[in-house]
Structure 1
């Protein structure tokens, strides 16, 4: 009887041991299953929790997700996800073709064609003959009248010397020297030969002098005002030659590498789309604008018959013949603040992000200046779908932690 009891006790103990061991295994498998899941928010994918609940940021219900064991910059997608995301790949190779780039800009006055009419002596502006910006001044037209004591003294010296020419002896000889010296001074002050000759026949020397334009142009700025006193050399009016204008535009630094001084461009105008003019790149600013991070490009545009006006909006098309390079659709490139990258198919259903340097853009294509293996299949559609899925699963940017 005791023997039977012992056997029964051993059997019960064995059964309990087996049951406990099985429970531990089940608990362990459940723990492993739990670890294979995490909970995240569709609006804030950086949130990761090990149990269901609400997002601490937007308070939406967290979504269960399977842990992705792929590398940091990789993501595995199912065939259904690839189809729904319209993800297609293609091997790319260098192509050679003419690339046309378009730049928008504005016509401005050619600063190299601006002339300033300045005062040749100190005095007071008695009269301005032109008072409106945009007026056209012809060469030899009167511009302003100046009251100047310095010029009046020089006129008097010339008049006196002329009257003394008829005197005998040394008086006449000295008068000729004084006359020539006074004439040179009046010429220095800007008087014409005709104005100087008229002094000989005047009854009284006038302190007022009219000054004439020495060139033609359109008034771009009026500096002086009637009644104001000016110093010798002070500007009075600025004249612009509008037969040549500047077209100024700003381009991305990476695009400017393909542009050179002297390169030709075809310019069209928003106001006159049917009109096309050939222009030439004359200046590339060596300094980048610190605010826009863009580079100023300037072109010279001929303006026959003054048909074009400063302020007109333009489109300049610059063509590069026989440009060789790798080009992919612009939507295939993910542009972040510090880097640009593409997605390539590493193996069936496994995609890897690859940082690249981009170049010029044209006709919906962007140049890839980084070297890419010819065997790589580049994602040309659906790149943003892969990117969104990556951020949703891993809660981070594909380039996070990479050297830029």
Structure 2
């Protein structure tokens, strides 16, 4: 009887032990399940809670989210999510494309056709005959009048030598050479032969001298003012020839790699929508703008009827043909402050975010110039759906952990 009682106690203890282990396993399984999900807000995905409840920001009910334990820049999607997100992929194979890029440019003066009229001697500008930029000027027109003691002294030397030539003997002969030297000095100051000859006929020597234009064109810039004191060589005004203009624009440095001097571009103008002309690239700046990563190029634009004016805006259409590379839809690229990236299918249902460098972009397609596995399947539609799901689950940017 005693043995039977002991055996019963043993059975009871075993039953209690099994029951406790079962409860512990259930608790452990329940804890493991609880740890595999978290609760987040669809409006504020940065909110992560271990227990259900309401969002502390917008007070909406939190949604249970299955944790994704993959790499920091990877996400796993179900077949249903891929279908609902319209997520499709294509292999990153190389292809040839002809691309046309449009750039905005501005017409400027052709600096090779700009002439400068400068002060020929130190003095004071008494009168400016042109006071408005853009005015037409013809060769031979008066530009400015200057009061100059240096020119006045040279005039006096010239007229004195001229009068002394009438004295007989050696004195008169010496006066001839003095007169020739004074004439050369006046020519150096910019006086024409007609102005020099007029000195002989004058009753007195004037300290004022008028200078005339040697060019025809348009007044591009006026740098002096009436009453101002100028030094010899100081610019008074600039004259531009508008028969040709420069069109300046800036292009992406990746696109500029294939440009060349002499390449033809199609130009249209904002002020003349129906007007299109062709121009050739005349200059490619060898220096890249460090902040914008853009490159300045110039084209010489004919302006036979002078309808085009400096400052007008133009659209430059540049074509780059038969470019070989990896081209994908521009919408397949995720762009933010950290750079550009794409999503690729690592394995069935598993997507990985990869940082990329972009090349030319045209007609809705963009070139990838990063090294990629040609067998990699790039997400070409639904890339932003993948990205949004990633941020919703992990609450951060998939590029946040990449080295920039």
TM-score, structure 2 normalization: 0.93
Structure 1 residue 256: deviation in Å?
A: 2.5
Query: What SS does the aligned partner of 1:104 have?
Result: strand
CA distance in 2, matches of 1:113, 1:21: 97
- Map residues 57-136 of structure 1 onto 2, 5 A cutoff: 60-136=60-136
Deviation at 1:205, TM superposition (A): 1.8
Distance across 2 between alignment mates of 1:54 and 1:258 = 57
User: Equivalents in 2 of 1:234, 1:370: separation in Å?
Assistant: 54
Matched, 1:307 2:307: yes
Aligned to 2:275: 275
2:212 is equivalent to residue 212 of structure 1: yes
TM-superposed CA distance for 1:343, in Å, is 1.4
* SS of structure 2 residue aligned to 1:86: coil
Q: Does 1:348 align with 2:348?
A: yes
Given that 2:328 and 2:366 are in contact with CA atoms closer than 8 Å, whether structure 1 keeps it comes out as yes
Q: Tell me, in whole angstroms, the C-alpha distance in 1 between the residues paired with 2:123 and 2:370.
A: 67
Further displaced range: 153-162 or 392-401: 392-401
The answer on whether the counterparts of 2:92 and 2:373 sit within 8 Å (CA) in structure 1 is no
1:241 is aligned to 241
1:229 and 2:229 matched = yes
Q: Is the 8 A contact 2:102 2:316 kept in 1?
A: yes
Structure 1 CA distance for aligned equivalents of residues 60 and 296 of structure 2: 48
Q: Indicate the larger mover: 37-46 or 126-135.
A: 37-46
- 1:221 deviates by 1.9
User: In structure 1, what is the equivalent of residue 363 of structure 2?
Assistant: 363
Unaligned runs of 5+ in 2: none
For 1:60 and 1:180, how far apart are their aligned partners in 2?
101
Determine the C-alpha separation between the residues in 1 that align with 2:262 and 2:201.
57
Match of residue 36 from structure 1: 36
Q: Helix, strand or coil: the match of 2:71?
A: coil
1:161 counterpart residue number: 161
Give 2:178's aligned residue: 178
Structure 1's unaligned 5+ residue stretches are none
Cα deviation, residue 135, structure 1: 0.5
How far is the alpha carbon of 1:182 from its aligned partner?
0.6
Q: Distance in 2 between matches of 1:70 and 1:222?
A: 69
Deviations 1:187-215 (A, max 9, x none): 01110011111112222222221110011
Say yes or no: does 1:150 pair with 2:128: no
Q: Which residue of 2 aligns with 1:386?
A: 386
Q: Residues 210-235 of structure 1: CA distance to partner in whole angstroms, max 9, x if unpaired?
A: 11001122112222222222222222
Equivalent pairs counted in the alignment come to 404
The residue that corresponds to 1:332 in the other structure is: 332
Contact (CA 8 Å) 2:338, 2:399: kept in 1 or not?
no
Compute the TM-score of the two structures, normalised by the length of structure 1. 0.93
**In terms of mean alpha carbon deviation, does 44-53 or 128-137 score higher?**
44-53
Structure 1 residue 40, shift from structure 2 partner:
2.6
Cα 1:7/1:322, change in 2 over 3 Å: closer
Describe the SS at the equivalent of 2:265. strand
- Correspondence for 2:399: 399
Q: What SS is found at the alignment partner of 1:64?
A: strand
Aligned to 1:154, the other structure's residue is in SS state helix
Deviates more, 1:80-89 or 1:273-282: 273-282
Cα displacement (A) at 1:3: 4.6
Distance 1:247 1:117, change over 3 A: same
Measure how far apart 1:303 and its partner are: 1.5
| Deviating 4+ runs (over 6 angstroms) | none
Q: Secondary structure of 1:367's partner?
A: strand
Which residue of 1 is the match for residue 193 of structure 2?
A: 193
How much does 1:57 deviate?
A: 5.8
- Residue 377 of structure 1: CA displacement? 1.9
In 1, the alpha carbon distance for the partners of 2:120 and 2:59 equals: 78
Contact 2:93 2:375 in 1 (8 A): no
Residue by residue over 1:33-54, the C-alpha shift from the partner in whole angstroms, topping out at 9 and shown as x without a partner, is 1111122333443443322345
Shift of 1:2: 4.1
Rounded Cα–Cα distance in structure 1 between residues aligned with 2:215 and 2:184: 22
After superposition, the C-alpha distances for 1:149-180 in whole angstroms (9 at most, x for unaligned) are: 22122112111212222322212211111111
CA distance in 1 between counterparts of 2:127 and 2:73 reads: 76
Greater mean alpha carbon deviation, residues 231-240 or residues 181-190 = 231-240
The offset of 1:293, in angstroms, is 4.2
Cα distance in 1 for partners of 2:136, 2:69 equals 76
